[in-house]
Amino acid sequence: MAFIHPWFLLGLIAVAVPIAIHLFELRRPKRVLFTNVGFIREVKLISARQRKLKHWLVLLARISFVVFLVLMFVQPYIPAPIQTIQLQSSVSVFVDATPSMQASTQNKQTSVFEQSIKEAQALPNVYSVATDFSLLNTATQRRRASEYRLELDRLQVSGRADGVSSAFNQLKGATTEQAFILSDFQKNSFSATDIATIDTAQKVFLVPVAARSLKNVFVDSVWLDDAFIRRNTNITLHIRLRNGGSMKVESCQVKLFVGDRQATAFRTDVPVNGVATTNVQLRLEGEQLEKCRIELDDFPVMFDNSFYFTLQPSPQIKILDIAATERLGGATRQLYANEPLFAYNSAKASGIDYRALESSDLVLVQEQPRMDAGLRESLVRVVRRGGSLVLVPPAEAVARASYTQLFADLGVGPVAWEPAGAAPVLRDVAVPAAQNPFFKDVFGSQNRQPLMPKVSPVIRWSRSDANIMRMRDGEGFLGEFSSGPGKVYVFAAPFNSTYSDFTQHALFVPVMYRLAMQSYRREQHPSYRLNQGTIAINIAETVKGSAEQVFKLSKDSTTFIPSQRLQAGVLRFSVPAAMREPGFYTLSLNGKVVASLAFNFDKRESELAAYSAEDLRQLIGPNRPNVQVFDVKDGESVAAKYKAERVGTPLWQYCLWIALASLLAEVLLLRFMRQQKAAPAPAVAA
């Protein structure tokens, strides 16, 4: 046994007070008045021995009261197995507030998050009142225990909450002496590399609050076969479900809603750590954006039972065809002009509307004999904006210099031209590989090799991002080149009949359609994550003429103003930290709706596989004695474990109770062991 304040033992001198009182009472004479016959009528019923026993018991009670009262201030304790060198002045605590913490604990009565809050609330009880506490979740400065508990009470589960890895990042370079990290320690968000970042001078205690074995089905992803969505046409939506729990899920009910209308419902089985993919048919009517959601009937983990996303029919793809002659542009005009998916325009190089050119999604330049500097600069701006450019080279040697300059401006190449004046020699184009995604669903099942077009290339390139079509000798016929955010597609041969029969071949239509489809880029994603960093949305047309450009995000009656930056018609904003709940949020400017955005929890939170206490000890290894794991699954709190191992067992409470019991014993002794009155003597006859 040891003492925290041993100098209070000087108070034991006070034991002399009850001893002095005892001796004074023994020596004090007692005066008894009686008549001559009084001693006959009163007989004393208490003996000297009884009086002496009473005095000794009262003395013992008084001495016991003084001794244990002094010991209470001395604060004796049984030393802990692990001795702490000095009292801690600062303690940091991190409580994982990610959505996965909403799973229930082993006793099924509380969630993992609620249990972690309870454990964190009890920590100040094992430290001195001078210890400061910091809650890493809120990045606040050191606070007293009462303020620290208030912050814990305000802490809530949030889809924007940082995972346990952020706690280790905050501890880097921190001056805190001890840190407690309470989490479920998911395997997909925590690793041994996080432990390696801990300073050896810091004492870190990992507290895994384990969830019970559960089943948990969630929406892993949804996608369409084509990014271009046609209205009033059946489209196929793929829904992939994943089981992030440890139990097989049978006959999970899934409902798909498009707006307020239930589009479909089905049931499916999802194995442990497995997926189940289902295809459903949808039809979008009109041009308005549709708010869609998928509802799962999955119990007891329900925080990820809803998945939100948006779908909107794609607008027409703007195509500008710049052909040298009417004859050259005839094939592409017939191809694009009669299709309602495209907004087709044609122009000659001498009469181009440059504003229309730079706003086009796809620009097709066919065999221009010469391109001036203004046209080249506009084409470069189209690509730099993210548009697509299709170049069909000319056969005339006089035009090659301007094309070579355009290739250099776009970063395409190096390219080499065939010798001028050489007679065209038609060669076969190779059959595209079946694995090429560009030709998905173009070639059906055939018993023989399809006939391919014959071309005579006038240009070659040594490398490209992808050769969509090749010659049989391996040279490229249609190459794809990246140039900033845009794409450049280059044909190796002109389209005129002398150098190619490609425009009369069956592949002409699907290839040119696919080039146009790939030029469409949906600026707004179907869904976003609440913990996503920066979101970019194209809103160039919305902000025209707007004086105040403060964008707001709102859901129901709650409004957020995110940090934002508007540049070149693109709004980039950060998801506000206060946005905790998934759902549909409206992006508005001066009360005008700009976009409707769908936000969901990070799907990694639905993967409930977590490290146990023993797993964490193996990750730590023997070389990090400053990191310790506290297992609370046996019902003992982390505060009690810390106190038993590092603080010891305090005994001052027992001293207080013994002192009070001694005081009570003295009262009872004085009350019930007083001298009894003598019984009256029998009357004597006169």
- DSSP string covering 188-214: TT--HHHHHTS-TTSEEEEEE-PBPP-
Lowest mean pLDDT among 132-136, 457-461, 541-545: 541-545
Instruction: Indicate whether 199 and 223 sit together in one domain.
Output: no
Instruction: Indicate whether 472 and 324 sit together in one domain.
Output: yes
Of the three residues 298, 314, 330, the one that is the final residue of a domain is 314
Residue 195's contacts (CB-CB under 8 Å, 6 or more residues apart) are: 168, 619, 620, 624, 627
Please answer whether residues 429 and 467 qualify as being in contact, where contact means their C-beta atoms are separated by less than 8 angstroms: no
Instruction: Indicate whether 472 and 539 sit together in one domain.
Output: no
Of the three residues 488, 519, 550, the one that is the final residue of a domain is 519
pLDDT at 603: 93
If phi over 0 gives left and psi between -120 and 50 gives alpha, with beta otherwise, what is residue 512?
A: alpha
> Residue 440 pLDDT > 60, yes or no?
yes
Of the three residues 273, 288, 314, the one that is the final residue of a domain is 314
pLDDT at 684: 46
**85 in any annotated domain:** no
Instruction: Indicate whether 467 and 343 sit together in one domain.
Output: yes
Instruction: Indicate whether 43 and 131 sit together in one domain.
Output: no
Angle, CA 34 vertex, CA 33 and CA 36 arms, to 5°:
150
Tokens of 517: 């489809």
pLDDT at 40: 46
**593 in any annotated domain:** yes
Q: Nearest-CA neighbor of 386 among 277, 482, 244?
A: 482
Question: Is the model more confident about 547 or about 604?
Answer: 604
Domain CATH number, residue 290: 2.60.40.10
pLDDT mean across residues, the chain: 84
**142 in any annotated domain:** yes
Tokens of 663: 């005081």
If phi over 0 gives left and psi between -120 and 50 gives alpha, with beta otherwise, what is residue 569?
A: left
pLDDT at 206: 93
Report the half-sphere exposure of 646 (CA within 13 A, side-chain side): 18
What is residue 502's DSSP assignment?
G
Per-residue confidence band for 681, with pLDDT thresholds at 50, 70 and 90: very low
Instruction: Indicate whether 295 and 401 sit together in one domain.
Output: no
Domain CATH number, residue 621: 3.40.50.410
Lowest mean pLDDT among 19-33, 77-91, 116-130, 417-431: 77-91
Lowest mean pLDDT among 17-31, 420-434, 485-499: 17-31
By residue range, what is the domain housing residue 190?
90-211+610-647
Per-residue confidence band for 648, with pLDDT thresholds at 50, 70 and 90: low
> Residue 539 pLDDT > 80, yes or no?
no
How many whole angstroms separate alpha carbon 476 and alpha carbon 459?
A: 9
Instruction: Indicate whether 114 and 68 sit together in one domain.
Output: no
Q: What is the DSSP string of 239-273?
A: EEEEE-SSS-EEEEEEEEEETTEEEEEEEEEE-TT
Please answer whether residues 66 and 15 qualify as being in contact, where contact means their C-beta atoms are separated by less than 8 angstroms: yes
How many whole angstroms separate alpha carbon 458 and alpha carbon 478?
A: 12
259-282 pLDDT, tens digit each: 999 999 999 999 998 999 999 998
Percent of the chain with pLDDT strictly greater than 70: 87
pLDDT at 332: 87
Q: At what angle do helices 145-154 and 112-122 cross, to 10 degrees?
A: 170
**684 in any annotated domain:** no
What is residue 645's DSSP assignment?
I
Lowest mean pLDDT among 328-342, 405-419, 507-521, 672-686: 672-686
> Percentages helix, strand, coil for the chain, rounded to the nearest 5?
30, 30, 40
How many whole angstroms separate alpha carbon 380 and alpha carbon 377?
A: 5
Question: Is the model more confident about 422 or about 627?
Answer: 627
Instruction: Indicate whether 301 and 236 sit together in one domain.
Output: yes
Instruction: Indicate whether 241 and 347 sit together in one domain.
Output: no
How many whole angstroms separate alpha carbon 344 and alpha carbon 518?
A: 16
57-80 pLDDT, tens digit each: 888 888 888 888 888 888 776 765
The residues that bridge with 573 in the sheet, in sequence order, are 535, 564
Instruction: Indicate whether 221 and 333 sit together in one domain.
Output: no
- Range list of β-strands (E), 370-433: 388-392, 415-417, 427-428
pLDDT at 473: 87
Q: Tell me the three state secondary structure of residue 448.
A: coil
Q: Which helix (H) or strand (E) holds 662?
A: helix 652-672
Burial, 280: exposed, middle or buried (Cβ in 10 Å; 0-12, 13-18, 19+)?
Answer: middle
280-333 pLDDT, tens digit each: 998 888 888 999 999 999 888 889 999 999 998 888 899 999 987 777 678 888
> Residue 218 pLDDT > 90, yes or no?
yes
Tokens of 197: 């970042």
Q: Nearest-CA neighbor of 148 among 129, 162, 161?
A: 129
Instruction: Indicate whether 221 and 244 sit together in one domain.
Output: yes
Looking up tokens 């052909």 gives 323
Q: CA distances (Å), 479 to each of 169, 279, 391, 476, in order?
A: 46, 34, 10, 6
**8 in any annotated domain:** yes
Domain CATH number, residue 564: 2.60.40
Q: At what angle do helices 400-410 and 373-385 cross, to 10 degrees?
A: 30
> Residue 432 pLDDT > 90, yes or no?
no
How many whole angstroms separate alpha carbon 80 and alpha carbon 4?
A: 13
How many structural domains is the chain composed of? 5
Percent of the chain with pLDDT strictly greater than 90: 34
Q: What is the DSSP string of 5-72?
A: SGGGGGGGGGGHHHHHHHHHHHHS-------TTHHHHB-----HHHHHHHHHHHHHHHHHHHHHHHHH
Please answer whether residues 19 and 59 qualify as being in contact, where contact means their C-beta atoms are separated by less than 8 angstroms: yes
Instruction: Indicate whether 95 and 176 sit together in one domain.
Output: yes
**180 in any annotated domain:** yes
Domain CATH number, residue 380: 3.40.50.880
Q: Nearest-CA neighbor of 602 among 572, 576, 580, 584?
A: 580
**247 in any annotated domain:** yes
Mean pLDDT across the stretch 128-132? 81
Greatest C-alpha distance within the chain: 172
pLDDT at 444: 61
> Residue 257 pLDDT > 60, yes or no?
yes
Mean pLDDT across the stretch 31-45? 51
The residues that bridge with 144 in the sheet, in sequence order, are none
Lowest mean pLDDT among 28-37, 102-111, 215-224, 548-557: 28-37
> Residue 554 pLDDT > 90, yes or no?
yes
Residue 221's contacts (CB-CB under 8 Å, 6 or more residues apart) are: 240, 603
482-514 pLDDT, tens digit each: 988 899 999 999 998 889 999 998 889 989 998
